[in-house]
Chain A
Amino acid sequence: MESTVDNTAQRLNAVWHLESAAITGSLARLLSDLTQAEDIAQDTLLTALENWRAHGVPENPGGWLMVTARNKALDLLRQKKRRGEHLSSGDFADESLYRERLASEYAGGDLEAITAEFDVSRVREDEVGDDILRLMFICCHPLLPPDSRVALVLKLVAGLSVDDIARAYLVPVTTLAQRITRAKKTLSAARIPFELPPEKERQARLKSVLESIYLLFNEGYVATQGAQWTQPLLCHQALRLTRSLAALINDDTDVLGLAALLEYQASRLNARQDKDGNPVLLAQQNRALWDAILIRRGHDYLSRAFGLGSAIGSYCLQAGIAACHARAASFAETRWDEIVALYDGLLQIQPTAVVRLNRAVALACAGESDVALAELDAIARKKSLTEYAPYYAARGDVLERLGRFRDAGRAFHQAAELSQNRAENRVLSERAKACRL
């Protein structure tokens, strides 16, 4: 049976979603300017829509987009050169550099001929990989505030529209558009070169990329605002980015550790809310709903990370904790002692109040509620988590285990008051009520 339904715009959207990172990355390298790269990318999309509607979708739509985008970029460079403008933030100011860049782009042949007929099959996969990687490094530059990095990555690497990103983050479209424009200006003003970071900067820059993806995932996993408990779109994009990163950099413990962590966390997405969208906590989750494929991918990444034999960082330790949950047949059968030990390790490299809080929760689950409560008191004395809903939720939990229901109810009530997420708020209020019965 032959299908005749073939919506051009829909196809373009699908192709763009798959190829935007490679194309924008290639344009950014060619032009050394993110704003111009993005403008040309958008222009290419318009040209494609018009052309494909008139002449049908080409056989290799991704290649078509890449060639058209590069041609537009070359045209722009040529125009600028004719007007005697500087070709970019310094990189192309020198005529010989410009020629060299073009020559290396298209080995041999004169420009016109190349522009007319460019064989996409000559763009090697490793070159595409480098372009994607370079784009991730640029978008997550430590110079940018974290929320801008995430917005840039979603726009330029994931190829999402400003509308989609604004909706997921529950901010006005104009706010988000401004955030992206400002970020691009910052990068261009600082004349950040469009190159993979040199070896000595690489770890620091990579750390910034990983942090941004982690932030993106968490924002989707526990939406801090609004009525929805999760924002699957954000989680999904973070997963995609981290999988892509792990395919491009397969020998870094932190990259593989983060990939493992996100696979494990994502494996529980379907079990983390009921059909009405209410949060379901780990203890109550139906483990049959956990995604076995993602868990296996988590195990796979984690064993590859450990197999590298380098120092174990915080992502691997967190992934190790998630692996303990993934392996446990039930909440009660979880190896809480192992989890506490992993938190001990995590606390060594990341001595934050939140890690301490999570360790205290694990202690309580391991049957040491008294020690856990003492820990929570100690955290409270430091006054760092006084506005943090999960702190009071944990406190309620431990007090409930100790049979101190009245105090537990008060803690749950406080947690509910602090939570900005309506779905979470509902669950906490119910727990507070249950303690008073």
Chain B
Amino acid sequence: MSWMLIIREERGQRDTRSEDEGKAVYGEMLNFGAALAQRGVLLASESLRTDDSAVRIQIRDGDTRLMDGPFTESREMVGGFFLLDVVSKEEAIEIARQCPAAKFATVEVRELAPCYQK
């Protein structure tokens, strides 16, 4: 069973940290990922740049719209993810509880499945 932990963080939170503080947070997340890899449950993990440099694309009635970030209308942005392979939802939740990001952001636990399945 594959599950994704999506890290939703408050927009602007990264700016409140000094570079050293930012590195410390990042290091903590790397260690967390390494521990998951040692337990054989990690499929992939990445940290994302802020959406300042992001682009959104929409094609409606044949017209393509490009929108530049940051997308300030939402209070949160996706900051990174962990892709897990575990045996149960409980195990995914347990990992999410231990994720350092749960303390400063929101960790959303989602199962991978085709979009037409409820």
Contacts and interface: CB of A to CB of B under 8 A. Distances in A.
Given A62-B98, A125-B34, A125-B35, A240 B91 contact: no
B90 interface: yes
Interface residues of A, number: 30
Nearest to B31: A125
Contacts of B35: 125, 128
A10 B43 contact: no
Contacts of B90: 10-11, 13-14
* Most B-side CB within 10 Å, residue of A14, A242, A245: A14
Interface stretch (B10-18, B49-57, B68-76, B81-89): B81-89
A147 B41 CA distance: 24
B31 A243 contact: no
B95 interface: yes
Interface residues of B, number: 22
Interface of A: 10-11, 13-15, 17-19, 21-22, 60-62, 125, 128-129, 132, 233, 236, 239-245, 247-248, 293, 297
Contacts of A129: 38
A61 B98 CA distance: 9
A18 B39 contact: yes
Nearest to B94: A14
B67 interface: no
A293 B38 contact: no
* Most B-side CB within 10 Å, residue of A15, A18, A125, A244: A18
Contacts of A241: 40
Nearest to A250: B37
B34 to A, nearest CB: 6
A18 B44 contact: no
7 contacts: A10-B90, A18-B41, A240-B39, A242-B40, A244-B40, A247-B40, A293-B83
**Which 3 A/B pairs are nearest by Cβ-Cβ distance?**
A244-B40, A240-B40, A243-B40
A14 B88 contact: yes
B45 interface: no
Nearest to A62: B98
A128 B39 CA distance: 10
Contacts of A239: 40, 85
